[in-house]
Amino acid sequence: MRIEKVKLNNFKQYKNFEIEFSKNDNQDNDFHVIVAIQGVGKSNLLESINWCLYGKEIFGKITKPTDQNVLNDNCKNEDNIYTVKVALNLSDENKNYLIIRDSKFKVAEKKSYSLNESQLSFSEKTGFILKNLDAKKEINNLLPEDLRDHFFFNGERLQNYFDKTQGEKISLVIKKMSGLDILESFNDILEKIENKYRKMIKVNDKNINLKKELEEELELIKTQKKEKENLLEKFYLNRDKAKKDLNEVNLKLDKLREYEHIKNQIDTLKGRLKELNNMKGNILKEKIQNVIEMGTLIFGWAAVERVYHENSNIDNNYDYLPHEIIKTALKENKCPVCEKELDENHKNILEKYLLLDKDFIISAKDYQELTNQVKESETKRKRLNNQLGEIEIKINGIKEELKSIEKNISQIQTNELNKLYDQKKRT
């Protein structure tokens, strides 16, 4: 595996940096040395490669891709949102790979905060791109993280390369990469299975009689199983029939609920109709009584008019006085009410009361009261007619609604539902 190019953006002291590791095809050697004074970023260049591949440093303290310490310090001078990005170009024989990792950070008042937005992508020359977990898995297959101590070290950690434990670690990783650990594990499983069956064969050879008994018992179990299967089949048939019957019952119940609802509507409407008819009957009775009373006045109104005009000069009505008192008043020439001397007009009135029947004397007051009575009767007649009209409209509306409901209920199997409905009421 060869590093072709590393490109950095806002990674630590690298604002925008790119380095290529070119190779001359005519030369056999392919060795590059980076020389610089302390603190310019030699180790951080290696750390950027580690951060791109694994999301953490190998020598430093950064353990996750969203650690704000990877952000370039110059970015902290201006509030904004910045992206730290490392792009790594690799080659292996005829294959080329591009690995890119980026993380976003926010700077406010010269302090940086992670936005917890980090992306990892892995692609080959073919152009197919893997993202995040898929990319991480492919990178670990290509360059296992457990082996990075073998490839990345500084002078202070050089002795780790020759450490015995490091060699054992490399050996385990190589086995894992090649699949040898799986083959070894599978081989152990096969050996265990083989030993298990060898023991079983020996036991079977020593227990032939037991084997025969087990076979007979197995045949009995098979027979019992067949019987149970037959029972189970019958059960399924009965269950299917029960389901069908249950569906029919549910359908009838649904129709019954609909029928009950309609029945309740009809009963309510009929009750309302009965109530309105009773109201109509009461109003009609009142109207008839009013018509009779009004008719009596109207039919006799000509006589009333004649009597009234004949006695129009009588302003006061003395029909409450007995004849004897009137006679005494005329004899003594004194008013029977105030005992003052009678004038000619009052004498004439009292004499008329004696000569005529009281029922045929109508004063102006009586005439006004009769007129008011006729007007009140007419007003009452109009009011009763209006009430009758309103009730008639309501009655016709209810009748139309009943007709519509009865049309709907005719589409339901009413006979059967009536039986169910009556049965339900009884229970």
For the chain, 427 residues long, give each residue's pLDDT as a single digit of tens. Answer: 789 999 999 999 999 999 998 877 776 667 788 888 888 888 899 999 999 999 998 888 899 999 999 999 999 999 999 999 999 999 887 889 999 999 999 999 989 999 999 999 999 876 778 898 999 999 888 888 877 776 665 555 555 555 555 556 656 655 555 555 556 666 677 777 777 767 766 666 666 777 777 778 888 888 888 888 888 888 788 888 877 876 776 676 666 677 777 778 888 888 988 998 898 888 888 878 877 777 766 665 555 565 455 555 444 555 555 667 777 877 888 876 677 787 777 777 777 666 655 444 455 566 677 678 778 888 888 888 898 889 889 999 988 888 888 777 665 555 665 666 566 566 5
Residue 251 forms part of a structural domain:
no
| Residue that terminates a domain, selected from 124, 155, 186 | 155
Domain count of the fold of the chain: 2
- Give the pLDDT score at 19: 93
**What's the Cα-to-Cα distance from 103 to each of 73, 119, 202, 375, rounded to whole Å?**
15, 7, 65, 98
Q: Cα separation of 380 and 288, whole Å? A: 11
Q: Six-digit token pair at 107? A: 């700077």
| H helical segments located in 300-363 | 301-310, 323-332, 344-355
- Residue 9 falls inside a structural domain: yes
How many angstroms separate the CA atoms of 354 and 343, rounded? 17
Q: Is residue 254 part of a domain?
A: no
Is residue 360 within 8 Å of 307, Cβ to Cβ? yes
Residue 74's CATH number:
3.40.50.300
Which of the listed residues 125, 155, 185 is the one where a domain comes to its end?
Answer: 155
Sequence-separated (6 or more) residues with CB below 8 Å from residue 73: 13
Q: Are residues 277 and 409 in the same domain?
A: yes
| Secondary structure of residue 239 in the 3-state scheme | helix
Domain end, chosen from 155, 173, 193, is at: 155
Q: Is residue 81 part of a domain?
A: yes
Q: Is residue 34 part of a domain?
A: yes
- SS3 (DSSP) at 63: coil
What is this structure's pTM?
Answer: 0.42
Domain residue limits at 414: 266-422
Does any domain span residue 376? yes
Same domain, 274 and 145: no
Residue recorded with tokens 């086995």: 175
pLDDT at 361: 47
Phi and psi of 120, rounded to 5°? -130, 130
In a domain, 334, yes or no: yes
